[in-house]
Structure 1
Amino acid sequence: MGKMLRVSFLVVIDAILINFAFYSALLLRFDGNIPPNFMSGFIQLTPTFTGVFLIGFFAFGLYNRLWEYASIGELTSVVASITVAMVVNAGVFFFASTGTAYLLPRSVLIIAWILTMILIGGSRLSWRIFRDFTFRHKSNNSNLKAKPILIYGAGDAGAILAKELRSHYYGDSTLVGFIDDDTKKKNLKLLSYPILGDRTQLQEIVEKYRIEEIILAMPSEQRDNIREIVDACQQTSAKVKILPGMYDLIEGNVTVNQIREVNIEDLLGRDPIKVDLEGISDYLANKVILVTGAGGSIGSELCRQIIQFNPKKLLLLDNCENNVYEIEMELRNDYATDIDASCLVPIVKDVRDWQAIKGAFQQYTPDVVFHAAAHKHVPLMEANPEEAIKNNVMGTYHVAKAAHQFGSKRFVLVSTDKAVNPTSVMGASKRVAEMVIQHLDKQSETSFVAVRFGNVLGSRGSVVPLFKKQIAAGGPVTVTDDKMIRYFMTIPEAVQLIIQAGAMAKGGEIFVLDMGDPVKIIDLAKTMIKLSGFGPYKDIDIVITGMRPGEKLYEELLSAEEGVNATFHKRIFVAKPNGLNVRLIEDTMKNIDNLSLPRSHDDTIALLQAFIPSFRRNGETSSTIQCSTEIEESLKQYNDNKDYIRSGGQ
């Protein structure tokens, strides 16, 4: 039906209903026997009354609404328009009447006002009621394969989701009801659907109603509680999905029909980190920014986020030409309308080549440096320890030295929790790199800082992509030890921390993220298998393979000597500086300048042990830190430090 035809139809219907309301009011007033003089007054006033009402309906937009979606807002407009029109008509009524000879009884106006609201409002809601009834009838009868669905969360988001399912997915799904942990809601109804119980009754409800899918509709819930709820849902046979965050819904970034699978990121034991965007923009906007390792997991995300702050130039440095090409093309495609063509500068250089790094700094003189280039694979560096020294120590020194010589304002080293009490060559080399920049910070106008965090979900070579491949291949999923635990964060979170640390840098700090609770790797494996729709040890087996060279059962974010101090960001701490062996650092820097580096396994280990006397490669001694008692003590120390800071201590 065309818009003009639709409006004309509604106007005619409304005119009929308005006249019917006034005539019915007269009938009610006189018990069905209307006196001739009042009938004459009705006929005289009806055209004016009708015109006033129709003008009011147009003024309040009653003919510009989709009444099949009528709700409280539409009914409010109906009441308001009828009330305003009736007030105007009352004025017309008293003006047209002379003395005490009223054309209609005054009480008729009140009765007609009530009847008009009932008739006009009822006509508008009738289509909504008819539509809902028709859809539900189709849902119950048209498709026997419709999935029985349960919504977890009987709040605002749950109501939005229920409306969406009822309106658009009646042929594919059948909403059975809600579940909510608020016991006050039990046995109540939301949008005519029952609230069946709480978490303790979840298994029973799923079995009773043969639920195939549970949708979590709690966008503002804390992450730790979400993880517990997902665990409870996964104990049932139903598939689990999740509704996007409420802020995303409000801002229009996503729609309700983008209900998605539960991701590992949803199960982190903390809320996502938030950054001070205003403070960040001050030191990145209109500056020359260098990112080393720009094609890696962390480096490429750094580039994606930095470009949004409108740098003068963004230097993409990596030793792999394919990596540089891919991130450059991605940024040019995604930000073609927002950046100048000359903003992005691809640089294929190796941080181990001093002359190449020096030349890049001399040509572009970056204001801020994010050093993400590194060898990070623990077992590979155990087999090739001298390469870890070349890339992680010598490479860091070259970039840091160039930043000092060419006047960069800030230098941010991307470090790792494996640098704390290291048992691997990779971790020890990153700790030496931290020491080098801490030493340079004392001699330079450049502010040198490091950022230390745990495992990054989805980064190349990390456990999550490995598990995904193993699950896709039908298993088994391999876990090195059933006691192994790790701290996790997402790639965007890691990069936000790095950028935030650059904004907070004063010089010499090692920033540490409050990463929440550690996760057992075997539990992560079980969760990923369940999220993929399989059963652990049933459909997909889990095999314990034994610890690899250089691995620890747990990682730490700071050593006992470092402790932590607070920063203005409640989720970021800064490790207290401890003593540096200045002579050893300076001798090592001279050796790097003279290209005198360890060339054998033994020489490399000797160098690392000179910097870190406690460093012992995994398996060298029986005292390697693997026992449950030491794990508990380390975690207690870390959590005690966090609690101390949160309580206001320093």
Structure 2
Amino acid sequence: MSIDNKKGKPNKIRRLEHWQYVMIFLVLYDIFAVNFSYFIALWVRFDARISEIPDYYLIPFLKFAPLYTVFCLCIFGVLKLYRSIWRYASYRELSRATIASVVTSLFHTCFITLMFRRMPISYYTFGMVVQFVLIVGIRFSYRFVLLQQGVISRLLRDTRVEKTGRVMLIGAGSAGQMILRDVNNGKETIDRVYCIIDDDPNKWNRYIDDVPVVGGRDDIFENVKKYDINKIYVALPNSTVSEKRDILNICKETGCELKNLPGMYQLVNGDVTVSSMRNVAIEDLLGREPIKVNLDEIFTYLQGKTILVTGGGGSIGSELCRQIAGRGPKLLIVFDVYENNAYDIEQELRTDYPGLNLEVLIGSVRDSRRIDQVFEKYRPDVVYHAAAHKHVPLMED
């Protein structure tokens, strides 16, 4: 701790972040690696005996080493080899490390030859290969260790995966791969993906992260039974509404818990995780875009009107009555053939809306004389016809 002379207050020593410790380690490692690579090449060239290395090769190497070290550190810094997050290293990081090795090796080959003397061919080639292996190896070994830890943790987790944690993934595209890795590598869930379904035959009988792509939509039922699946995750952001509807309809028949990735928004924004998935909604099964209705305009129209709801005691009719009752109608008429249903909705509406002008009538819409009486007496402005049989095929028989 140091003291600020002007204010007399102690200054806290700033601690280095973890990535800064990693950067320092990599810098020190690279200083060793770039020089060791060419020294080992020289050593191997002369039968692995230091005493056999001629001074006219060893001295140029030692004199050139400081310059080469500084150049390497500069190139590695420019290509961000000290600021990359290596636990997420991918092709881009590998390409940068490769470019860095090629550039520095060409620099070494040209300038040690021009400034001192020509070295053995094996010195250039073997040194370049060893340097590449050491530079890339240390960086990607970190990612490899983390992946192996993930594999071990998955194996340990598999011993405690309950029946509800067995997942089938629909979709082997980019979104599906992100979901797969999030499920299998996530620590907050014990779910595991056991198989993948995709309609592309080119992907069948192949593997993604050790998970088999077992077939297309026609193979869903078979593999739900084979792998004892209890959850299905659908990751098809690019599919048309009709294609997704057909697949969701098949999945619903399995009885599994079903979740769906909403669309391209999550894929574009990188928000493709298990938490971004939602339960399948009615809109997913429509086969078309849902129609948006201006309810405020409709409810405004109903104010001060005499409204008749046929089948008002049924599931659809009763909900219509609840919605209308709170919108200030002049008179709400509930018309139903079943007195029990009519009585239940009457009691509910009188309790919830004490000021509602309500009339409950018993009768059948097939009785034309009764319907004429109702229209002649009440003269409704709006009629909602919700009277219908629930089990039409049974009634037709």
| Length-normalised TM-score, structure 1 | 0.43
Counterpart in the other structure of 2:143: 128
Q: Secondary structure at the match of 1:47?
A: helix
Aligned partners of 1:139 and 1:171 also within 8 Å: no
Corresponding letter in the other structure for 2:115: A
- 1:61 matched to 2:61? The reply is no
Q: How does 1:26-105 map to 2 (within 5 A)?
A: 26-32=42-48, 35-36=53-54, 37-97=56-116, 101-102=117-118, 104-105=119-120
Counterpart in the other structure of 1:643: none
Distance in 1 between residues matched to 2:291 and 2:68, nearest whole Å: 61
| Cα shift at 1:25 | 2.7
| Structure 1 residues 462 and 26, CA gap change in structure 2 (3 angstroms) | farther
- 1:602 matched to 2:376? The reply is yes
Counterpart in the other structure of 1:373: 300
Counterpart in the other structure of 2:23: 7
Aligned partners of 1:82 and 1:117 also within 8 Å: yes
Aligned partners of 1:138 and 1:170 also within 8 Å: no
| Structure 1 residues 80 and 461, CA gap change in structure 2 (3 angstroms) | farther
Which structure has the bigger radius of gyration?
Answer: 2
Counterpart in the other structure of 2:10: none
Q: Secondary structure at the match of 1:373?
A: helix
| Cα shift at 1:152 | 0.8
| Cα shift at 1:605 | 5.9
Q: 1:184 aligns with which of 202, 226, 232?
A: 202
% same residue: 27
| Length-normalised TM-score, structure 2 | 0.67
Aligned partners of 2:194 and 2:227 also within 8 Å: yes
| Structure 1 residues 52 and 256, CA gap change in structure 2 (3 angstroms) | farther
Q: Deviations over 1:465-512 (max 9, x none)?
A: 9xxxxxxxxxxxxxx9xxxxxxxxxxxxxxxxxxxxxxxxxxxxxxxx
Q: Deviations over 1:137-175 (max 9, x none)?
A: 112214513512221111111111122223324751222
Q: 1:155 aligns with which of 170, 173, 188?
A: 173
Counterpart in the other structure of 2:251: 233
Distance in 1 between residues matched to 2:289 and 2:26, nearest whole Å: 51
Unaligned runs of at least 5 residues, structure 2:
1-16, 312-317, 324-336, 338-362, 367-373
Corresponding letter in the other structure for 1:374: Y
Q: Secondary structure at the match of 1:113?
A: helix
Distance in 1 between residues matched to 2:153 and 2:66, nearest whole Å: 43
Unaligned runs of at least 5 residues, structure 1:
275-296, 301-369, 385-423, 425-459, 466-479, 481-546, 551-599, 609-614, 620-626, 629-650
Q: Secondary structure at the match of 2:126?
A: helix
Corresponding letter in the other structure for 1:144: R
Counterpart in the other structure of 2:218: 200
| Structure 1 residues 13 and 248, CA gap change in structure 2 (3 angstroms) | same
Aligned partners of 1:299 and 1:372 also within 8 Å: yes
Counterpart in the other structure of 2:328: none
Counterpart in the other structure of 2:160: 144
| Cα shift at 1:195 | 1.0
Q: How does 1:235-634 map to 2 (within 5 A)?
A: 235-251=253-269, 257-271=275-289, 298-299=294-295, 373-375=300-302, 381-382=307-308, 461=319, 601-602=375-376
Q: Secondary structure at the match of 2:131?
A: helix
Count of residues in Structure 1 that have an aligned counterpart in Structure 2: 314
Q: Secondary structure at the match of 1:221?
A: coil
Distance in 2 between residues matched to 1:56 and 1:42, nearest whole Å: 20
Aligned partners of 1:153 and 1:216 also within 8 Å: yes
| Structure 1 residues 21 and 150, CA gap change in structure 2 (3 angstroms) | farther
| Cα shift at 1:81 | 2.0
Distance in 2 between residues matched to 1:176 and 1:13, nearest whole Å: 41
